[in-house]
Amino acid sequence: MKATAPTAPPAAAERPTSPGRDAWLRLRRNRLAVASGVFVVLLGVICVLAPPFLGHGYADQDLSLGATPPAATHWFGTDELGRDLLARLLYGGRISLMVGFVASLVALIIGVTYGAVAGYAGGKLDAFLMRVVDILYALPFTIFVILMMVFLKQPMDQLDTWLRQFDFLKNLQGIGKIVGLFAAIGAVEWLTMARIVRGQVLTVKKMEYIEAARTLGFGHTRIIFKHIVPNLLGPVIVFTTLTIPSVMMLESFLSFLGLGVDAPLSSWGTLIKDGADKMENFPWLLVFPGGVFAATLLALNLLGDGLRDALDVRAAKD
Amino acid sequence: MLRFILRRLLETIPVLLIIASATFFMLRLVPGGPFTAEKAVSKEILRNLQAHYGLDKPLPAQYAAYLWDITPKRFAPWRLFADTDRNESPDFDLKAAFGINLGPSFKYPNRTVNEIIADKLPHSLELGLWALAVALALGMPLGVLAAMRKNTAADYTASTLAMVGICVPTFVMGPLLVLFFALHLHWFNASGWYFASDRVLPAATLGLVYAAYVARLTRGGMLEVLNQDYIRTARAKGASETRIVLRHALRGGLLPVITFLGPAIAGIISGSFVIETIFQIPGLGREFVTSAFNRDYTLVSGTVLLYAGLIVALNLAVDVVQVWLNPRLKFE
Amino acid sequence: MRAPIQSSPVPFSYLALALAILLFPGCGKTGQATASSPAKKILNVGNGAEPQDLDPQVTTGVTEHHLLMALFEGLVAEHPSGEGIAPGVAESWETSADQLTWTFHLRAKARWSNGDPVTAHDFIRSYQRILTPVFAAEYSYQLYVVEGAEAFNKGTLTDFAKTGFSALDDHTLVLHLVQPVPYLLYALRHTSWFPVHLPTIEKFGPPDRKGSAWTRAGNLVGNGPFILTKWLPNQAITVERSPTYWNAAEVKLDTIIFHPVEDNNTEERMFRSGQLDVTETIPTDKIDAYRRERPELLRLDPFYGTYYYNLNLTRPPLDDVRVRRALALALDREAIVKTILRAGQEPAYHFTPPYAGYTPGEKLTGGLAEARRLLAEAGYPEGKGMRRLEILYNTSEAHKAVAEAVQQMWRTGLGVEVALRNEEWKVYLDSKDNLAYDVCRAGWIGDFPDPHGFLEVFMTGGGNNDTGYANPGYDRLLKSALGLPDQSARMDIYRQLDTMLTRDVPEIPLYFYKRVHLISPRVKNWVPNIIDNRGWQYIDLDPVIASGDLKGKD
């Protein structure tokens, strides 16, 4: 829901919880968004907690079984190697959600820091930093992610070997690749965030109460954290929510190219790619991963849109 | 305005230079080269091959030669499409127009990168334009509908419907459409790029992805305009809702969509790999991805440069159009 | 161009007809082309990837090979039965008693597609071109069996007249070999032995430079049963019957359209919609469905190749033959073939595929119990104390599935921990060449139907060995084989060599390949060919069957 004066400054900067509460009230009225949020959280919890209780691992094969449709023993059926699809889906959910959230977090951290510094510093530094962003904007991104995944292959394998010396990571095959995914995708997605944050900082910086705070002799740190950061939260939250689904989609695209996570680990992207190839003869291989993936993306998008309306953020993404 | 355009064009020079250099060195650092083949090639033959493509020279010399080759040496954009007698495909002659020589392809020895781009780019562009048409035709009405019935079931349905495309990967949507429309209903060919009807399924698959963004932007833009005073005035005067939307609100609602067009076109062109593979379209996206896997150095660099150039040009065009449409903005 | 975008279910055949007349007569799909001129026989073939080039002396791939067999013809040609060879440009040939001198008599009727006669001098000039050092032909080594060829190619001999290639007159070609090559006639079918038309090549640039425009449609001059008429990169390559081909009267098809379809799911859909008559391959998950519902469309032919895993002998614990043998014995090949590959591939318990006249050597025997025993004997009971092994494979669904199954079998059967590493093609080749792996997926497909090529792979230091296997006894024995006058004695040696590989286990054989196609019942004379060579001149096409018949299952 949009306020009539779109850029009206939060009137009650002394009580920073109040606009938040307002937004929360507005969000709550958007039932679709709330339901979406609940769905994503629930799904995340299931992916993290449920797998040990399934009785099937993601790599346990039964070649004599082959691909079987859903049944009592395997709720979502099995793939051609006789592996339980539900187990693979939930483990894959861990990977996909992790890639989605962590890569977005990487983008968030780089973007917010970069944008805030540029916006707050202003002047020549700002101009320079933003020019760099402009330059990076001219890179063909899909292509650069592909190039990076191809080129990072070896370092990622080395990282994988190194990481798996540690006991708690020993069984996580392809962890290096996942870290590579974070880096490649995060590196691509932070630009828009930086622009948004900078714009917001510039607007807020000129507000009278900031001027007032400055004349009162408050330090930079206090001004940044007490007054500017709370004003950034809205756009940042909205944009992050909308980044997660696009990151997950990018991951599935990389899986299509064979640049996704390593076997026998699966992500939703690799499962869907596999299912799309086999949908005519083994439709369940596509229906379940595809359904869950689409529902998650839809939920995240609806949540993002809901938040945008509630927090009254304009054109956060586009 | 001319100064603005000129300045922006000048700024692209270092951008393209950085991109060209980065790709050049990255490619040569990756394991595997253009002549790594399954059946081993003897040392003598390998040496001869490298000599043939100038890869035996020291890296700095190769780099210098490469930079010189890609430097524009003349400016004759009118010759870009001048020579049309070669082959059936429309031409796009970077060499005649700007003296840019992207070199011979390693994988396809009888073709130059210039030629491959000239052959493939038009197909990708065509696909992109059709897809964009689908995205606009689908996204805008949905966006308008959502804005007019804000926060009602109609709004939610329209917004959700528009989002189908961003929730279903194209490599799922494409085969699904083919199975249904081509193999079940027999309306279209399963793939190919010969007839006008061959454009329908690929354009729909790719267009659906962008429909959601267009719908979202239209809705946002419309809402903003619908709150403006002049709309209220029109309403007070008793103008019909349809008239208000068509005559006044839509115009304002379009602005963010136009801003979006630049990045969208760039994304469509460079992101069409999946579609081109599924539908057997002889486009540049497919060419690029295979060239990266083939280590076709010159073809990778050439396509990356071209894409970067296109994106820069599109962004610039969008900026100009935006200012032109919205007099309140000025050229920085 | 008009855009007839249909919104109602127009019957497909009307639509095809309308489009055919409206848009592109003579290009595209079967249904449409036959509708415009029912007498023409147009074969639509799925052909894997876009060819690198159509210069037989430049290309190296299977894709190009298929095309070149339509455009050029060597001294010998394919036999209509798919087995053995038939006379090609050479009408007849004889060999000297020591098997070192071969004389080929070229037929007077042989013509290039521009009308020039094909002469022995054309062959000589072609061989000089492919062996010229600066030309850097990747497959020039195929000619090294001829005296002086290697020296000339490496630049140590500069006078081509001093090599073993000579033309006695326009129609007599003589080859002097370095050593007897019993399989020479079969090797001659390889594209590197094909003649090229130098006057044409010279028109478009210096003959020793690759990549001139001579191979473009309209420029290319060949001597095969078909001529190149259209080349749309990444779309289609069209060849049409050549009127100058010496055996033109016997050529059945008017046109062949080769479609470079890389995605095998796309290809299968194109076949089902009637756009292709023959596919390059078929997605494995669809094999069972076709076998069940449309078995007449499915072709599973033997293919002269072995799928195997290389073991890196330079890395412990793989330097221990007991460990290697244990790994080889612990695999359930039947299950892999049956569940994953499904095309009836033959499980391989030795390296060289069996083929006419050759009985392979000793098989791997013992099973899982023996494998466990060997592993314990080597000091790793139940896999304890053994480091984790890594299987390297190149990115592909099929390789992935096999590797996943092998991983599971070693883990559960032997207690050996295994990781999977997938690398994209070029990186994989690099790792394989540099022995930067433990276990690595590999495949070998024979260029000619003779075990020699297979066994040559494991020569000490051989370019394709890639395992670190070095056995002087093996090398000596292999070298001695070619000189043997008697075929059966030669095969005996190969059997011994095969047995050596089974005992030393530098590699783990998994299965022998199958060629898998979907093929329309209209296509006639498509015979199985063990090395997948196509004699396009023999293939025929029935008049159109009602188009519904081609749609396959829905």
Average pLDDT of the residues of chain C:
87
Distance CA B226, CA C29 (A): 52
Q: What is the pLDDT of residues A237-263, one digit of tens each?
A: 878 888 888 888 888 888 777 777 777
A249 touches chain C (CB under 8 A): no
Tokens of B77: 């954009």
Same domain, C501 and C528: no
Which of C345, C317, C512 shows the shortest CA–CA distance to C418? Answer: C317
pLDDT at B176 over 50: yes
Distance CA C376, CA C320 (A): 12
Q: What are phi and psi of C391, to 5 degrees?
A: -100, 125
pLDDT at A86 over 50: yes
Predicted confidence band of residue A167 (pLDDT cuts 50, 70, 90): low
pLDDT at C212 over 90: no
Which range (B29-33, C89-93, C304-308, C310-314) has the least confidence? Answer: B29-33
Same domain, C477 and C533: no
Beta strand pairing status for C255-259 and C42-46? Answer: parallel
Angle at A144 between CA A143 and CA A146, to 5 degrees: 65
The reply to whether residue B108 touches residue C50, judged by beta carbons under 8 angstroms, is yes
Measured between beta carbons, which residues in chain B are less than 8 angstroms from residue A293? 167, 169
Segment of A66-80, A205-219, B92-106 carrying the highest mean pLDDT = A66-80
pLDDT at C67 over 90: yes
Asked if A197 and A119 count as a contact pair (C-beta separation under 8 A), the reply is yes
The total number of residues shown for chain A amounts to 318
pLDDT of amino acid C551: 37
Identity of the residue in C403, C421, C424 whose CB atom sits nearest the CB atom of A258: C424
pLDDT of amino acid A274: 87
Name the minimum distance, in Å, from the CA of C253 to any CA of chain B. Answer: 23
Q: What is the CATH number of the domain that holds A217?
A: 1.10.3720.10
Residue C526 located in a structural domain: yes
Which range (A78-87, B25-34, B165-174) has the least confidence? Answer: B25-34
pLDDT of amino acid A123: 82
pTM: 0.85
Same domain, C333 and C441: yes
Predicted confidence band of residue C95 (pLDDT cuts 50, 70, 90): very high
Residue A231 located in a structural domain: yes
- Among chain C residues, CA nearest to B192: C235
Residue C2 located in a structural domain: no
Residue A65, CA atoms < 13 Å, CB-side half-sphere: 18
pLDDT at C510 over 60: yes
Residue C213 located in a structural domain: yes
Name the minimum distance, in Å, from the CA of C339 to any CA of chain A. Answer: 6
Q: What is the pLDDT of residues B183-221, one digit of tens each?
A: 888 898 888 888 888 899 999 998 888 888 888 888 878
Measured between beta carbons, which residues in chain A are less than 8 angstroms from residue C395? 258-259
pLDDT of amino acid A312: 66
Predicted confidence band of residue A9 (pLDDT cuts 50, 70, 90): very low
Name the minimum distance, in Å, from the CA of B238 to any CA of chain C. Answer: 39
Q: How many cross-chain Cβ pairs, B to C, lie less than 8 Å apart?
A: 177
pLDDT at C290 over 90: yes
Looking at this predicted complex, what is its ipTM?
A: 0.84
Name the minimum distance, in Å, from the CA of B274 to any CA of chain A. Answer: 8
Residues of C with CB under 8 A from a CB of A: 265, 283, 285-286, 288-289, 332, 335-336, 338-340, 395-397, 400-401, 403-405, 407-408, 419-424, 427
Name the minimum distance, in Å, from the CA of C136 to any CA of chain A. Answer: 28
* DSSP secondary structure code for residue C358 in this structure: B
Name the minimum distance, in Å, from the CA of B182 to any CA of chain C. Answer: 7
pLDDT of amino acid A100: 87
Same domain, C327 and C271: no
C546 touches chain B (CB under 8 A): no
pLDDT of amino acid B83: 55
Name the minimum distance, in Å, from the CA of A189 to any CA of chain C. Answer: 25
Q: What is the pLDDT of residues A284-318, one digit of tens each?
A: 999 999 999 999 988 988 888 888 777 765 543 33
Predicted confidence band of residue B40 (pLDDT cuts 50, 70, 90): low
The reply to whether residue C401 touches residue A80, judged by beta carbons under 8 angstroms, is yes
* DSSP secondary structure code for residue C540 in this structure: E
CA A249 to chain centre: 10
Contacts of B81 (CB under 8 A, 6+ apart): B90, B91, B92, B93
Tokens of C434: 């540099």
- Domain containing A284 equals 27-59+91-316
The reply to whether residue A278 touches residue C289, judged by beta carbons under 8 angstroms, is no
- Domain containing C377 equals 304-514
Residue C293 located in a structural domain: no
pLDDT at C6 over 90: no
Measured between beta carbons, which residues in chain A are less than 8 angstroms from residue B291? none
- Among chain A residues, CA nearest to C408: A61
Predicted confidence band of residue A14 (pLDDT cuts 50, 70, 90): very low
Name the minimum distance, in Å, from the CA of A43 to any CA of chain C. Answer: 28
pLDDT of amino acid A136: 76
Residue A240 located in a structural domain: yes
pLDDT of amino acid B89: 45
pLDDT at C238 over 80: yes
Question: Interface partners of C (3+ CB pairs, < 8 Å)?
Answer: A, B
Predicted confidence band of residue C220 (pLDDT cuts 50, 70, 90): very high
Q: What is the CATH number of the domain that holds C248?
A: 3.40.190.10
Same domain, C228 and C353: no
Residue A263 located in a structural domain: yes
Same domain, C422 and C498: yes
pLDDT at C240 over 90: yes
Residue A307 located in a structural domain: yes
Average pLDDT of the residues of chain B:
80
pLDDT of amino acid A186: 80
Which range (A172-176, B159-163, C418-422) has the least confidence? Answer: A172-176
Measured between beta carbons, which residues in chain A are less than 8 angstroms from residue B171? 253, 256, 272-273, 276
Residue C282 located in a structural domain: no
Question: Into how many domains does chain C fold?
Answer: 2
Distance CA B150, CA A113 (A): 35
| Mean pLDDT across C410-439 | 87
Asked if C249 and C363 count as a contact pair (C-beta separation under 8 A), the reply is no
3-class DSSP assignment, residue C105: strand
Residue A193 located in a structural domain: yes
pLDDT of amino acid C177: 95
| A157, A257, A271, A282: best to mutate for the C interface, most C CBs within 10 A | A157
Segment of A144-153, B39-48, C252-261, C423-432 carrying the highest mean pLDDT = C252-261
Identity of the residue in A81, A154, A280 whose CB atom sits nearest the CB atom of C405: A81
Residue that wins the pLDDT comparison between A128 and C279:
C279
Residue A9 located in a structural domain: no
Residue that wins the pLDDT comparison between C494 and C355:
C494
pLDDT of amino acid B331: 54
Q: How many cross-chain Cβ pairs, A to B, lie less than 8 Å apart?
A: 123
Identity of the residue in A137, A150, A252 whose CB atom sits nearest the CB atom of B30: A150
- Among chain C residues, CA nearest to B37: C429
What amino acid occupies position B12? Answer: T
Identity of the residue in C285, C339, C420 whose CB atom sits nearest the CB atom of A264: C420
pLDDT at B109 over 70: yes
| Mean pLDDT across A174-195 | 77
A274 touches chain C (CB under 8 A): yes
The reply to whether residue C421 touches residue A81, judged by beta carbons under 8 angstroms, is no
CB neighbour class for B231 (10 Å; exposed up to 12, middle 13-18, buried from 19): middle
B211 touches chain A (CB under 8 A): no
Question: Into how many domains does chain A fold?
Answer: 1
Q: What is the pLDDT of residues B242-259, one digit of tens each?
A: 777 777 777 767 777 777
Residue C355 located in a structural domain: yes
Asked if C68 and C59 count as a contact pair (C-beta separation under 8 A), the reply is yes
Same domain, C473 and C376: yes
Rg (CA), chain A: 22
Residue A196 located in a structural domain: yes
- Among chain B residues, CA nearest to A6: B224
The reply to whether residue A153 touches residue C421, judged by beta carbons under 8 angstroms, is no
Measured between beta carbons, which residues in chain B are less than 8 angstroms from residue A303? none
* Percent of chain C topping pLDDT 90: 62
Identity of the residue in A263, A278, A280 whose CB atom sits nearest the CB atom of C403: A263
C292 touches chain B (CB under 8 A): no
Q: What is the pLDDT of residues C37-49, one digit of tens each?
A: 457 899 999 998 8
Average pLDDT of the residues of chain A:
78
Same domain, C231 and C353: no
pLDDT at C454 over 90: yes
Same domain, C248 and C313: no
Question: Interface partners of A (3+ CB pairs, < 8 Å)?
Answer: B, C
* Percent of chain B topping pLDDT 70: 90
Residue A75 located in a structural domain: no
Same domain, C530 and C499: no
A22 touches chain C (CB under 8 A): no
**A27-43 residues labelled b (16+ CB within 10 A) or e (exposed):** beebebbeebbebbeeb
Helix (H) or strand (E) holding C300: strand C298-311
Same domain, C328 and C252: no
Measured between beta carbons, which residues in chain B are less than 8 angstroms from residue C232? 88-89, 282
Torsion sign across C-alpha atoms C528, C530, C534, C538: negative
* DSSP secondary structure code for residue B153 in this structure: H
Q: How many cross-chain Cβ pairs, A to C, lie less than 8 Å apart?
A: 68
For B:226-265, CB contacts with A below 8 A are: 227, 256, 259-260
Residue that wins the pLDDT comparison between B74 and C155:
C155
B109 touches chain A (CB under 8 A): no
Distance CA C334, CA C405 (A): 12
Q: What is the CATH number of the domain that holds C454?
A: 3.10.105.10
pLDDT at C36 over 60: no
The reply to whether residue A318 touches residue B216, judged by beta carbons under 8 angstroms, is yes
Residue that wins the pLDDT comparison between C114 and A10:
C114
Identity of the residue in A140, A245, A317 whose CB atom sits nearest the CB atom of B304: A140
C86 touches chain B (CB under 8 A): no
Q: What is the dihedral of CA C521, C525, C528, C532, to 10 degrees?
A: -100
pLDDT of amino acid C35: 40
pLDDT at C159 over 90: yes
CB neighbour class for C476 (10 Å; exposed up to 12, middle 13-18, buried from 19): exposed
pLDDT of amino acid C542: 87
Residue C3 located in a structural domain: no
Predicted confidence band of residue C23 (pLDDT cuts 50, 70, 90): very low
CB neighbour class for C121 (10 Å; exposed up to 12, middle 13-18, buried from 19): middle
| Mean pLDDT across C367-379 | 93
Measured between beta carbons, which residues in chain B are less than 8 angstroms from residue A273? 171
Same domain, C537 and C466: no
pLDDT of amino acid B53: 80
If you write DSSP's letter for every residue of B202-269 in order, what string do you get? Answer: HHHHHHHHHHHHHHHHHHHHHHHHHTSHHHHHHHHTT--HHHIIIIIIHHHHHHHHHHHHHHHHHHHH
Residue C247 located in a structural domain: yes
Identity of the residue in A138, A279, A280 whose CB atom sits nearest the CB atom of B308: A138
For A:81-120, CB contacts with C below 8 A are: 81-82
Name the minimum distance, in Å, from the CA of B169 to any CA of chain A. Answer: 7
